[in-house]
Structure 1
Amino acid sequence: MKRISALSLCLALGACAEYGFDPMTAVSPKASEVQSLDSTSTSQLYLSVVNGLLSQGRYRAALAYLDQYAVKEKKTPYFQQLYGEALLGTEQYEQAGAAFATLRTTPLAPDGFNGLGRVKAAQGDWPGAAEEFARAVAARPSSAEFLNNLGYAQLSIGGSELQAAEFNLRQAQELDPASGSIRNNLLIALMMAGKDAEARRLLAGIPASRERAEVRDFAASWVRNHQPAGGEAREDM
C-alpha cells in the first residue's frame, strides 16, 4: 500500500510529512449494490472500501469492516496487509506485527517487511526497523517508498549509518522526484553530512515560500535534536 509512503499510508516516519496531501475518500456501498455482485466482486468491494478508510486515517472504521469481512471471507494476503495497516493505525503493535508477518511467504512479502519495519519504527526500535526495511528493499529494489523508509531509519540510528541513509534517499528521490517526504528526508541527510550548499539548492527548489520555510525549520530542528552528544549545534539554514 502506498501512502502510506511513503511515509506512502506510511505511518509517518518523522520527516515523512507531505504538504498539500489530499486524502482519498471512500463511500460505503449501498446494500442494493452489494447484493447485485457476485462473491468475488463483493470481496473486492469490501477491501476497496477498507483501503479508502485507511487512506482517510479512519482505522477503527476499517477494523470494523475487516472484522465483518473475516466472518465469511477467506483471509487473503491482501486482507492481512490491510488488517496490519488498521491495527498499526490504532497502535495495536503486537497484533499488527503478527498480521504483517503472515505476508513473508506470499507475493506481498515486500509489503510485509515494510509493515514490520513501520511497527518497529512506531515503537522507537530504529535498528529493528532498518533491518525490516532493508529486507523490503531487497525484495523490491525499485520501491521509492521502501528506500525512503530505510533511509529515515538509518538517519534515526545515526553514526555509521548516515552515509548509507544519504545513498538510499538519493536513490529514492531519483525514483520519485515529486515526493515531498523523500525530499525532506534527503534534506536532513545532507545537513547531517554538512553538505549545506547542496541542501540550500534542494530547499530552493520548493516554489512556495511558506512551505520552504516550514521544511527548512523542521529539518534544522530535526538535526539539532539528533546531534551526537558533545557535537556542535547546527545553525539554521
Structure 2
Amino acid sequence: MMKRAAFVFCCFLLGGCAQMGFEPVPSTAPRASDVGTLDAAAKSRLYLEVVNGLLEQGRYRAALAYLDQYAVAEKKTPFFQQLYGEALLGTEQYEEAAEAFSALTRGPLAPEGYSGLGRVSGAQGDWAAAVSHFRKAVAVRPSSAEFLNNLGYAQLCLGGDSIREAEFNLRQAQELDPASISIRNNLVIALLLAGKEGEARRLLAGIPAAHERAEVQQFAMDWVKRHAQAGTASSEQEEM
C-alpha cells in the first residue's frame, strides 16, 4: 500500500506535497532476463512496481515515462491511476492529476483518490477545498493516521475556527501512529496556534537529539509567525 503518506508540507514532513503513501519497492528497471520470462500482463504489473519505487525517490518524470511506455496494459486499473496521479502531481500537472485521482473515487481506492485530490488542492493553495477532500478520505477510512494528518495540516493552513479541529485530528493521528515525525511536528504547530505553549514544549522535550529538538521548535515558531503575518496581510487587504 502506498506510503506517499503524509502530505509533505513542512521540511520535516519530507518526503512531498510528500512522505505520501506505501512501502518502497525496487527502484531500478528489472533485468532483461527476468522480463523475458513474463507474459505481457505480468510485465506491465512489474513495471508498475518499478514506477512505485521511482515515486518513492521523487523521480516523477521518470515514473511518467515508464507509465506511458511500459505499463500500457494496466492503464484502466486503480493502481495505475493512483501511480499516474502521483506522478502528475509531482510534476505539477495539477489538472491532469486531479482527473486521475477523481477516477479513483469511484472504485476500491476511493480514500486514496480523495486524499490525492486534497493534495492537489493544497499544492495550489486552496485549503478550503483540501479540507473538504481530506474529510471525505477520513470518512471512508477513519483509522488512517496519514489522512488525519493531511486533514489536520490543511485545517492549520485554513486557520480560524479550523485550528481547534486540526488539533483534535492531529492528536488522533498521533495516537494511531506515535512514531510519525510529520504528525508530531504538525501537532506542535497546532498547539502553538492554540496558545498551548507549555504542552508544545513538553512534546518537543520528547525529541532525544538536542539539535533536532531545536530545529523542530524553530521551524514550528517560524511557521506560526509566517502564517500569522499572512493572515494579517489578508485582513488588511479586505479592509482596503
Note whether the superposition's TM-score is higher than 0.5: yes
Alignment of 1:79-228 (within 5 A): 79-227=80-228, 228=231
Letter paired with 1:183: R
Structure 1 distance, partners of 2:81, 2:127, is 24
Aligned-pair CA distance for 1:16: 5.5
Deviates more, 1:198-207 or 1:69-78: 69-78
Letter paired with 1:86: A
Structure 1 distance, partners of 2:208, 2:136, is 35
Letter paired with 1:17: L
Q: Does 1:229 align with 2:223?
A: no
Structure 1 distance, partners of 2:189, 2:46, is 40
Cα–Cα, structure 1 residues 225 and 24, in superposed 2: closer, same or farther, change >3 Å?
A: farther
Is the 2:101–2:113 Cα contact (8 Å) retained in structure 1? yes
Cα–Cα, structure 1 residues 128 and 179, in superposed 2: closer, same or farther, change >3 Å?
A: same
Q: Secondary structure at the match of 1:226?
A: helix
Structure 2 distance, partners of 1:128, 1:33, is 45
What is residue 6 of structure 2 aligned with on the other side? 6
Q: Residues 47-73 of structure 1: CA distance to partner in whole angstroms, max 9, x if unpaired?
A: 110000000000000000000134344
In the alignment of these two chains, the number of paired residues is 224
Deviates more, 1:218-227 or 1:53-62: 218-227
Q: Secondary structure at the match of 1:112?
A: helix
What is residue 29 of structure 1 aligned with on the other side? 30
What is residue 60 of structure 2 aligned with on the other side? 59
Aligned residues: CA RMSD: 1.9
Letter paired with 2:202: R
Structure 2 distance, partners of 1:46, 1:199, is 44
Q: Give the structure-2-normalised TM-score.
A: 0.88
Is the 1:25–1:56 Cα contact (8 Å) retained in structure 2? no
Cα–Cα, structure 1 residues 94 and 48, in superposed 2: closer, same or farther, change >3 Å?
A: same
Letter paired with 2:103: T
Aligned-pair CA distance for 1:221: 0.3
Is the 2:44–2:71 Cα contact (8 Å) retained in structure 1? no
Structure 1 distance, partners of 2:218, 2:10, is 14
Is the 2:74–2:80 Cα contact (8 Å) retained in structure 1? no
Structure 2 distance, partners of 1:144, 1:71, is 33
Q: Which has the higher helix share?
A: 2
Q: Secondary structure at the match of 2:178?
A: coil
Aligned-pair CA distance for 1:41: 2.8
Structure 2 distance, partners of 1:24, 1:118, is 23
Aligned-pair CA distance for 1:226: 1.6
Is the 2:134–2:147 Cα contact (8 Å) retained in structure 1? yes
Q: Residues 196-215 of structure 1: CA distance to partner in whole angstroms, max 9, x if unpaired?
A: 11100100011111111110
Q: Secondary structure at the match of 1:4?
A: strand
Is the 1:15–1:184 Cα contact (8 Å) retained in structure 2? no
Structure 1 distance, partners of 2:138, 2:203, is 25
For structure 1, list consecutive stretches of 5 or more residues without a partner in the other structure: 231-237
For structure 2, list consecutive stretches of 5 or more residues without a partner in the other structure: 234-240
Structure 2 distance, partners of 1:138, 1:43, is 33
